[in-house]
A and B are shown apart, each in its own frame.
Chain A
């Protein structure tokens, strides 16, 4: 692929002119007929082939995934799958960004599921499209289908070319439901998956080409900024007049300014913020007693069993009890949330970096008290997204503000303080663990209670909208405490809370808080960031008590050969068996299989303890099943590991009784270049195995490996994140 001809069509049509609204296509939001055969991935609920693929007479093929680019490279991966299955050159692929109502409804781009959901669907749809085109060509030309081959989109018979996808582009052959009989290629016949195709989106990002939603410039566009309440619980009592040329938009406690330029909007927002009168209340817990608060609120919460197991086991010789705490974490995307909205009559079009266009549409229409067909969402990229951040909130807010200026496009950008202070956070968590060991040190029993707010407050999943502004309007919706996704989907707070080790007696429980003073939702790993670390820390202690090597101890408690393989690989990579220890240096190793059903990751960490702890090196061994784009997967595992190191060493949301106080980069520290460890990644490829996802697997075990390395260096077992001098004291 080259930068120019491999260009993605994602986001095209949006930058300088209003998009053409597609009149074809529809989204299956209704449950699929159970009598229909099951189809792979999201194809099962979006069965029409034309929703996914479109051939153009100019020799290009459009791929329309419902999953979106959030910096993870998914468009390139999905394009490779389509190109391979269709047998067309990758340069012919045009990836089209998701939009409602035309794109397949693939829910949310989250949970490291995009290659499973969308990749499996596109692979099957492309195989089916190829079959249909070849059989039509065979019928029309009399050349038997068995003697047709596809070369870069041309159909070749024994006598030469007899047709192509492009020739049949207008034949509407894809206006059918996918057939369960389509057979994707055999593994040996794959040519374009399993290779590191360069990212489609990177050239424009390196050359500063307008590509993000932030870069949209529509004729007559106005700029908006929000004036946030003076506290989490606040009522707006009085507002000053807007400066000349600036329009004030108010609905209840929701207050914004609209101006012709960004600087006017910013200056006006700053001025009004200092003059608006709010009546405020204390509603946040005492941060100094946050763990105690979780325990107290947990006693009033909803406690449920996650998994219980009671098998024959050797007698218990000893029981260890440990508790682990982690604070609220922020997404801390380096760009701030942004959206553009424009009303036409009673309908609104929103350009958004949402992870789930259909989910966003549902909550925006509920909040605006209109129907879903009146809300059109076009995905455009934003800065890196690691979970449910402010993207959806800002989209609703842009629509609310734009309502004041019918027909005029409005661009709303959050400030850094809003991004770090008002987006949803990953909930603080506390876990109490009791581990039973037999006389020989074998782990035989495990009981735990994981206390946390829910890890999903995503839009579109409850009848009451969850977006920030919905609770601030004059006609406000109540704030509903966040929920946890079901365990079948990986769970929320208890994600990875069930040890992946063989333990005959087990009782894992979780307690969801029914009050939510600080808004929580999904961030990379969800509960795994606490659970993997706590489990791995206990395992390390038990290994030490049994005088066993931590790797050997894990290996004898693991049953899954793929788990053992990554652990052994990480140990080999870091030279575990022959490691030497320098003064102030330490090494640790940890393992997890994400969601216990996804990708495997084992991490070794080397740290240096000085005035604080620095992580210097990470070794990452992974297994993500079949790998479409090896470099893309390495990039994800590497990025996740660095994210984990940052969470381990620095990150925590701070607050007083009224407000989030860590709302700038000094207050919410993330790793900088001089502090980032080097990372070595090795992936164990399994082309015969299903896709397992890549984005989240390495983060949690990195935290656990760093904790183990701290113990190696300092003899201290951390029990609270982040591993700062205060928390290690």
Chain B
């Protein structure tokens, strides 16, 4: 049994030893934001925040987040109360298929928490663990800059 805070709520989940956090999140915990892309720390589809740090849920064992705070894109905001990043991604229409977005959103939120006014190069660097095959990169960068600006005022 592993207990942790998932998007602000206490959860406990029982999965066999070695089960990845991604499987626990998508399986018994019923989330859809974190996604499988490679299982190999190469694409960022599964990215979540563990105590605020972007982490690959595909390789992280569920037991490793015991007692920690896990944030997924669902935890950033929802349609009624979107996170500034989510609002900015919609405003910039930053995405095509959208597969990459939940991981990118959590990495971007960690970036903005640490650096409220990142340069374009800093954004690119922070998002380098993420693949986007649709070529939405420039829109995504614009959206992160827009969110940063809105969060600063």
- Given A70-B97, A71-B98, A641-B135, CB of A208 within 8 Å of CB of B128: no
A413 touches B124 (CB 8 A): no
A206 touches B133 (CB 8 A): no
The chain A residue with its CB closest to the CB of B104 is A673
B134 touches A384 (CB 8 A): yes
CB neighbours (8 Å) of B127 from chain A are 673
* Most B-side CB within 10 Å, residue of A73, A201, A642: A642
Residues 71-107 of chain B: 1 if any A CB is under 8 Å from the residue's CB, otherwise 0?
Answer: 0111001110010001001100101111111100100
B98 touches A665 (CB 8 A): no
- Given A215-B32, A639-B96, A641-B135, CB of A203 within 8 Å of CB of B79: yes
* Band of interface residues on B: 35 or more
* Contact for B97 among A206, A385, A415, A416, CB less than 8 A: A385
- Given A203-B90, A208-B31, A679-B138, CB of A384 within 8 Å of CB of B96: yes
A382 to B125, CA, bound (A): 27
Q: How far is the CB of A664 from chain B (nearest CB, A)?
A: 6
- Given A202-B93, A673-B124, CB of A334 within 8 Å of CB of B77: no
The chain A residue with its CB closest to the CB of B105 is A206
* Most A-side CB within 10 Å, residue of B16, B99, B102: B99
A495 within 8 A of B: no
A685 within 8 A of B: no
* Contact for A674 among B31, B93, B101, B125, CB less than 8 A: B125
CB neighbours (8 Å) of B27 from chain A are 261-263
A332 within 8 A of B: yes
CB neighbours (8 Å) of A214 from chain B are 35-36
* Most B-side CB within 10 Å, residue of A205, A211, A215, A333: A205
A335 touches B99 (CB 8 A): yes
Q: How far is the CB of B59 from chain A (nearest CB, A)?
A: 12
* Most B-side CB within 10 Å, residue of A217, A413, A639: A639
A333 touches B32 (CB 8 A): no
B137 touches A665 (CB 8 A): no
The chain B residue with its CB closest to the CB of A210 is B32
Residues 9-35 of chain B: 1 if any A CB is under 8 Å from the residue's CB, otherwise 0?
Answer: 000000110011001001100111111
Q: How far is the CB of B120 from chain A (nearest CB, A)?
A: 9
Chain A 370-416 residues near chain B, CB threshold 8 A:
381-386, 413, 415-416
Q: How far is the CB of A394 from chain B (nearest CB, A)?
A: 14
B38 touches A416 (CB 8 A): yes
B19 touches A263 (CB 8 A): yes
* Contact for B37 among A416, A638, A671, A679, CB less than 8 A: A416
- Given A4-B79, A203-B90, A673-B128, CB of A664 within 8 Å of CB of B38: yes
CB neighbours (8 Å) of B26 from chain A are 262
CB neighbours (8 Å) of A381 from chain B are 97
- Secondary structure of the A side of the interface? loop
A336 touches B37 (CB 8 A): yes
B69 within 8 A of A: no
A334 to B60, CA, bound (A): 20
The chain A residue with its CB closest to the CB of B123 is A673
Q: How far is the CB of B127 from chain A (nearest CB, A)?
A: 4
CB neighbours (8 Å) of B132 from chain A are 334, 673
* Contact for A635 among B20, B39, B96, CB less than 8 A: B96
A485 within 8 A of B: no
The chain A residue with its CB closest to the CB of B88 is A206
A631 within 8 A of B: yes
A673 touches B137 (CB 8 A): yes
A421 to B133, CA, bound (A): 17
A544 to B127, CA, bound (A): 41
The chain A residue with its CB closest to the CB of B33 is A208
B45 within 8 A of A: yes
Further 5 A-B residue pairs, CB within 8 A, beyond A203-B90, A334-B43, A384-B96: A196-B93, A382-B97, A383-B37, A383-B99, A670-B133
A-B contact pairs, 28 of them (CB 8 A): A71-B96, A202-B90, A202-B98, A205-B102, A206-B86, A206-B89, A206-B105, A207-B74, A207-B77, A207-B82, A208-B73, A208-B102, A212-B32, A262-B23, A334-B43, A334-B132, A381-B97, A416-B38, A631-B93, A635-B136, A639-B96, A639-B134, A639-B136, A665-B40, A665-B42, A673-B128, A673-B130, A673-B141
Nearest first, the 4 closest Cβ-Cβ pairs linking A and B are A208-B33, A205-B98, A71-B97, A642-B135
